[in-house]
A and B are shown apart, each in its own frame.
Chain A
């Protein structure tokens, strides 16, 4: 099929950036979205034009490195799908596709479609862990975890940190990402000792990074390729309130 692309090109962080239109003829429906971009890039290089920079790595929907806003939707229209797992059969001959980077104050653009998501790492550093020094662990089966709790923890732990939730949110809030980690660790017996400390520290860092607040719009859940649920935000808020009131004594 033949497509027209309108792609955000931006030389570096300080450049204003603009849309550039490219024709993409002869695209196979079996290609992934990123393979389509590979072809466009190969043709650009052959013409002596600089290829479009975009982040990607595993191309099997798990590393969380890729992420494009496609026709206004983070990771494109198909539900529960990362950009790399989106295939061209989701588009039709003659379509115009608009491709943009994640846009959020906390994610400065590095080049073209590549953004800096290091804010997420700093949030995890602030408290998104269980302190378990290597070598100090008890036998695995000494800690019993009811199956349902393990399943719920796993539902939240499935987050790949791609940041589509932030890109989709009109407030550029990171609440879904942060709450998924709070919820994952808070559901397990191992996570209890640091539970309230964790939620306070992660939220403080999230605020410091310049993410917006949650106003219960739900775009994040709709965009999430791993279907992380909004109810995690509820759980996080509950823990946060409990932590705040406990801190005041």
Chain B
């Protein structure tokens, strides 16, 4: 597998400009001759579909939900970063770039991250023009707040519904193109395979989730913007439908999968309430602007929070990281919460929780201000837990939230399969081993609005060879395989439900490959997962037929893929014998319990190459070079 990053050379602040000037263009009259397939309609896919349609390309866009507006980007709460420096507090493109590289524990590619920081300002302008109702100051200017891992205030927001508003902006732009006939939208359609012809991505196989029909779609390029694979853990903050099938099928067709072990555990989620739990709910990181995190100093303290006096509380983030305090990055905050709970000082049922307390802020600012800032989050918390966070502190615990790993892409966002582009959370590009808050929305929209429209033209302009259609043998073969797989799932008629396997896998993943990982634990997981997978294919039961809406069948296909991906994730975690960002190997930590990198051996992206069923995948590496930021031990003290 050849891993050419294709990063431009020269001063980093000129690289993207230079690259744009050097890339080939497709002339306006020729654009309509190209057909682009986009899978996913979230911030990355939706913004790409809208923009490419507007440019004149012929676009087909697919999503599994009933409408493009439902993609899980919609659930992002707190905000989107941009280095506008509207607050006059010292922000700049370089600082956002630096914070992101450092936040990612020096495991991201410098050139990509710089470009992300550079276009961040265009994103805000674009979204304002679309009518995104960002929060404003009384004078009418845009308002900002702070997020973890930064000492400047650069996060733009629309109450606690920033993702929703940004997605609706992209969705409306997309629907406009649908109305104009530039984009054809395929809702309730799931991509179940990628079609590669003569080494190039030429199309996809989908299942119409209403009729069950297996369909072929041919294009000149394929874009995957299908989000992350957090649901491999069963319980995560992802939507129930979020799945890895599109990227996993692409991996099996030859796309390199980079750093699968880089998963993000978000520190502030509502704790699990019982075995019935179907998903976890995030409480936005923005709450840490005004909420203080603490646990009792005494182990096993069962007093109510208001009965624990100030001097018997441990505000552990403020104590350990005085300069960032409650706004320490996510990986660090999550680990600190785990350490407090492991130490027997956790609160709530089972001791798996810490307090996020607003009493001081309410005293200082008044309830009204807090309500204005976080009202919807407080309500959500109250609905789920039946406790009023204006009166008692929230209880929170870390949960799987985001996956930094994903399909490997070069600077042009193209995977190792020519013609297959990957955007947003589905790729591995910008966040290294840990993503900073409010940067996922930034990356999704940067990729879709401002990167892929340029880089895909460069690919299409150099495309040679005859046009093909869906009668090509590769399409017929992929269709037959897809039908065969569905038939197989329906014919097992075993005794266990799909969900029971998913939960079993999730538990292994969380216990052995969650917040803390060890050599022994990962080896256990690598022994257990193939057993679960084997039983799945012998003993799962999927009722109903393939030619109708069949939600069990949909889940079965996704879980079958998670059962393979989970193994790769653990394998990657085992091979990466260091700690970095969200990947914490207990064997490698500093005296203070921080992640201890091994730059000599692991300053690279690990890119896995599929070798066939039953064969171990091959680990390739892309070395990471740091020319503009110095490698250092991360410190937020």
Q: Which residues of chain A have a CB within 8 Å of any CB of chain B?
A: 11-12, 28, 30-32, 34-35, 38-39, 42, 45-46, 48-51, 53, 55-65, 80-81, 85-87, 89, 110-111, 114, 116-118, 120-121, 124-126, 128-141, 143-147, 150, 153-154, 157-158, 160-161, 184-185, 188, 190-191
Report whether B172 and A118 are in contact in the complex, using a CB–CB cutoff of 8 Å: no
Report whether B136 and A146 are in contact in the complex, using a CB–CB cutoff of 8 Å: yes
Report whether B548 and A48 are in contact in the complex, using a CB–CB cutoff of 8 Å: no
Residue on B nearest A49 in the bound complex, by CB: B543
Report whether B131 and A35 are in contact in the complex, using a CB–CB cutoff of 8 Å: no
In Å, the complex CA distance between A43 and B278 comes to 15
- B161 interfacial by beta-carbon distance below 8 Å: yes
Q: In the complex, what residues of A have CB within 8 A of residue B65's CB?
A: 57, 63, 65
- Known contacts A125-B175, A132-B173, A190-B130; A58/B239 CB under 8 A: yes
Q: Which of B66, B131, B172, B549 has the most CB of A within 10 A?
A: B131
- B628 interfacial by beta-carbon distance below 8 Å: no
Specify which of B68, B274, B386 is in contact with A89 (CB 8 Å cutoff): B386
In Å, the complex CA distance between A30 and B278 comes to 12
Report whether B66 and A116 are in contact in the complex, using a CB–CB cutoff of 8 Å: yes
Shortest CB distance A186–B (Å) = 10
Report whether A121 and B178 are in contact in the complex, using a CB–CB cutoff of 8 Å: yes
In Å, the complex CA distance between A137 and B178 comes to 21
Report whether A158 and B131 are in contact in the complex, using a CB–CB cutoff of 8 Å: no
Shortest CB distance B142–A (Å) = 5
- B171 interfacial by beta-carbon distance below 8 Å: yes
Residue on A nearest B273 in the bound complex, by CB: A30
Specify which of B175, B276, B281 is in contact with A39 (CB 8 Å cutoff): B276
Shortest CB distance B396–A (Å) = 15
Using C-beta atoms within 8 Å of the partner chain, give the interface range for chain B: 35 or more
In Å, the complex CA distance between A11 and B167 comes to 33
Report whether A154 and B159 are in contact in the complex, using a CB–CB cutoff of 8 Å: yes
- B558 interfacial by beta-carbon distance below 8 Å: no
- B140 interfacial by beta-carbon distance below 8 Å: yes
Report whether B129 and A137 are in contact in the complex, using a CB–CB cutoff of 8 Å: yes
Q: In the complex, what residues of A have CB within 8 A of residue B176's CB?
A: 125, 129, 131
Report whether A190 and B136 are in contact in the complex, using a CB–CB cutoff of 8 Å: no
* A134-B50, A145-B133 known, 6 other contacts, Cβ within 8 Å: A38-B278, A61-B380, A117-B67, A124-B172, A134-B126, A140-B125
In Å, the complex CA distance between A227 and B47 comes to 28
Report whether A42 and B136 are in contact in the complex, using a CB–CB cutoff of 8 Å: no
Shortest CB distance B388–A (Å) = 14
In Å, the complex CA distance between A65 and B72 comes to 11
In Å, the complex CA distance between A107 and B54 comes to 30
- Known contacts A58-B239, A62-B164, A137-B122; A154/B551 CB under 8 A: no
Report whether B131 and A147 are in contact in the complex, using a CB–CB cutoff of 8 Å: no
- B168 interfacial by beta-carbon distance below 8 Å: yes
Report whether A147 and B136 are in contact in the complex, using a CB–CB cutoff of 8 Å: yes
Q: Which residues of chain B have a CB within 8 Å of any CB of chain A?
A: 47, 50-51, 54, 65-70, 72, 74-75, 84, 86, 122, 124-131, 133-142, 158-159, 161, 163-165, 168, 171-173, 175-176, 178-179, 185, 187, 210, 239-241, 273-274, 276-279, 281-282, 379-380, 383-384, 386, 449-450, 453, 495, 497, 499-500, 541, 543-544, 548-549, 551-552
- Known contacts A111-B549, A190-B130; A46/B141 CB under 8 A: no
In Å, the complex CA distance between A123 and B59 comes to 20
List 13 interface pairs A-B (beta carbons < 8 Å), by A numbering: A46-B495, A57-B72, A63-B75, A65-B65, A116-B66, A118-B67, A120-B67, A121-B67, A132-B129, A145-B133, A150-B133, A154-B165, A184-B131
In Å, the complex CA distance between A134 and B543 comes to 46
Report whether B72 and A63 are in contact in the complex, using a CB–CB cutoff of 8 Å: yes
Specify which of B125, B135, B168, B380 is in contact with A60 (CB 8 Å cutoff): B380
Q: In the complex, what residues of B have CB within 8 A of residue A139's CB?
A: 125
Specify which of B72, B125, B138 is in contact with A138 (CB 8 Å cutoff): B125
- Known contacts A53-B551, A87-B384; A35/B276 CB under 8 A: yes
Q: In the complex, what residues of A have CB within 8 A of residue B139's CB?
A: 144
In Å, the complex CA distance between A87 and B379 comes to 13
Shortest CB distance A187–B (Å) = 8
- Known contacts A57-B65, A58-B74, A190-B129; A126/B179 CB under 8 A: yes
Shortest CB distance B527–A (Å) = 27
In Å, the complex CA distance between A137 and B161 comes to 23
Residue on A nearest B176 in the bound complex, by CB: A129
Residue on B nearest A30 in the bound complex, by CB: B273
Q: Which of B137, B273, B278 has the most CB of A within 10 A?
A: B278
Report whether A45 and B178 are in contact in the complex, using a CB–CB cutoff of 8 Å: no
Residue on B nearest A150 in the bound complex, by CB: B136
Report whether A184 and B66 are in contact in the complex, using a CB–CB cutoff of 8 Å: no
Specify which of A133, A140, A154 is in contact with B133 (CB 8 Å cutoff): A154
Q: In the complex, what residues of B have CB within 8 A of residue A131's CB?
A: 176
Q: In the complex, what residues of B have CB within 8 A of residue A62's CB?
A: 74-75, 161, 163-164
Residue on A nearest B449 in the bound complex, by CB: A134
Specify which of A125, A133, A160 is in contact with B179 (CB 8 Å cutoff): A125
In Å, the complex CA distance between A58 and B239 comes to 4
Shortest CB distance B138–A (Å) = 5
Report whether A32 and B278 are in contact in the complex, using a CB–CB cutoff of 8 Å: yes
Q: In the complex, what residues of A have CB within 8 A of residue B163's CB?
A: 62
Report whether B122 and A51 are in contact in the complex, using a CB–CB cutoff of 8 Å: no
Specify which of A32, A140, A153 is in contact with B84 (CB 8 Å cutoff): A140
